[in-house]
């Protein structure tokens, strides 16, 4: 029994460790193209943090928490922007070297670099990496432990020998990905954690395409994505005539979801017996919206008025027919 307990303890202990990553993905394009010649995207745990390219020449945050971070610490914004602009010229020189070594004088070519680190928040172990790809294939990478370049392709052998001889550059790369990047990663964690632990209430509204369409209860702008949206009648959840949609992401990092109710057989006087309920992890109270025709947003009001002025509204006739048959 004790042996089983110890085994389970270590399994749980090991499972609690989390590895985090910080990457810079750099892309350079030569030749005639409508795309930016140089692009850098930074990501943390595979989520984009910011973007920089040779066309805009500015740093564009991709997450709300990175916008707040750069506002609170503008020196970080300037540091990463300067690094981006510096790397543009540096990368162009690399592209020229690759093309020269491969005897390529014409055509469009793509050079990519992925550099960064992975950090274990329990053991504090750091692993750095620096890899180059050329025209969609792995080309050369740096072994940060041995300080030597590894060339899986024979075409990269000449570049490998040249880069191996540049010891100062290798030390600089080791410093970036084994010292600077882990520090950035650890500095970012509190900002990201507070952002991920936030709770944002949604706006809830009723939508309807046509008078005979289902009524859609739509909740948007909520966070986190641990939420539920359902219909009730007389305080009891219902499933008949209900079609629930999936939780979808918004561009700002929040989420949205919807649930439709078939109202075609509901008598007008019974509408107030129905309500839409939104529940969100972190909120103690549900957001309850009573079904009310006056609160429904439609896109057919103008059409209805236009048709009624020319001899009657087809939508009104449909409503009358439904009410008559109910």
Q: Give the pLDDT confidence score for residue 3 in this predicted structure.
A: 42
Mark the ranges of the chain whose per-residue pLDDT is less than 50.
1-16, 302-326
Q: Which domains occur in the chain, in start order?
A: 18-196 (3.30.500.10), 203-300 (2.60.40.10)
- For residue 129, what pLDDT is reported? 95
In terms of Cβ atoms closer than 10 Å to its own Cβ (0-12, 13-18, 19+), residue 81 is middle
Q: How far is CA 40 from CA 23, 54, 134, 176, in A?
A: 10, 9, 16, 16
Cβ atoms of 245 and 254 closer than 8 Å = no
Burial grade of 32 (CB within 10 A; 0-12, 13-18, 19 or more): exposed
**Distance from the Cα of residue 284 to its chain's centroid:** 27
Reading phi first (left if > 0) and then psi (alpha if -120 to 50, else beta), residue 124 is in left
Helices 64-72 and 181-196, axial angle in degrees (round to 10): 120
93-96 contact pairs (CB < 8 A, 24+): 94/28, 94/132, 95/28, 95/30
Strands 203-208 and 296-298: parallel
Backbone phi and psi for residue 244, each to the nearest 5 degrees, phi listed first: -95, 135
In the numeric block, the tokens 């928040």 are attached to: 121
CA dist., res. 260 & res. 214, Å (int):
6
Contact by Cβ (8 Å): 159, 98: yes
Q: What is the pLDDT of residues 126-158, one digit of tens each?
A: 999 999 999 989 999 999 999 999 998 888 898
List, for residues 207-264, the tens digit of each pLDDT value: 999 988 999 999 999 998 999 999 999 999 999 999 999 999 887 778 999 999 999 9
CB-CB neighbours of 12 under 10 Å: 9
**pTM (whole model) above 0.85:** no
pLDDT of res. 301: 56
pLDDT at 6: 36
| Share of the chain residues as helix, strand and coil, in percent rounded to the nearest 5 | 35, 35, 30
Q: How many residues does the chain have?
A: 326
pLDDT at 17: 53
């Amino acid at each position: 029994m004790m042996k089983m307990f110890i085994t389970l303890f270590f399994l749980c202990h090991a499972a609690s460790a989390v590895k985090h990553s910080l990457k810079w993905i750099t892309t350079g394009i030569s030749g005639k193209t409508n795309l930016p010649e140089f692009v850098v995207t930074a990501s943390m745990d595979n989520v984009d943090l910011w973007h920089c390219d040779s066309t805009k020449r500015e740093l564009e945050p991709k997450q709300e928490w990175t916008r707040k971070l750069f506002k609170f610490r503008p020196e970080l914004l300037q540091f990463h922007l300067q690094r981006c602009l510096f790397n543009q010229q540096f990368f162009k020189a690399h592209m020229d070297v690759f093309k020269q070594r491969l005897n390529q004088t014409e055509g469009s070519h793509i050079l990519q670099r992925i550099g960064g680190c992975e950090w274990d928040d329990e053991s504090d172990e750091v692993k750095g990496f620096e890899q180059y790809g050329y025209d969609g294939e792995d080309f050369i990478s740096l072994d940060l432990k041995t300080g030597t370049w590894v060339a899986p392709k024979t075409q990269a052998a000449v570049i490998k020998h040249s880069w191996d001889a540049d010891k100062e550059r290798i030390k600089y790369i080791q410093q970036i990905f084994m010292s600077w990047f882990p520090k950035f990663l650890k500095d970012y964690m509190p900002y990201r954690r507070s952002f991920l632990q936030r709770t944002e209430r949604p706006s809830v509204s009723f939508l309807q395409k046509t008078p005979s369409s289902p009524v859609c209860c739509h909740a948007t702008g909520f966070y986190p994505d641990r939420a539920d949206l359902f219909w009730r009648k007389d305080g009891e959840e219902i499933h008949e005539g209900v079609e629930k949609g999936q939780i979808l992401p918004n561009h700002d990092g929040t989420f949205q979801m919807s649930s439709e109710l078939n109202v075609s057989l509901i008598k007008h006087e019974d509408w107030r017996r129905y309500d839409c309920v939104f529940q969100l992890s972190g909120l103690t109270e549900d957001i309850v919206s009573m079904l009310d025709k006056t609160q429904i947003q439609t896109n057919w009001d103008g059409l209805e008025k236009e048709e009624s002025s020319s001899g009657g509204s087809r939508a009104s006739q449909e409503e009358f027919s439904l009410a008559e048959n109910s």
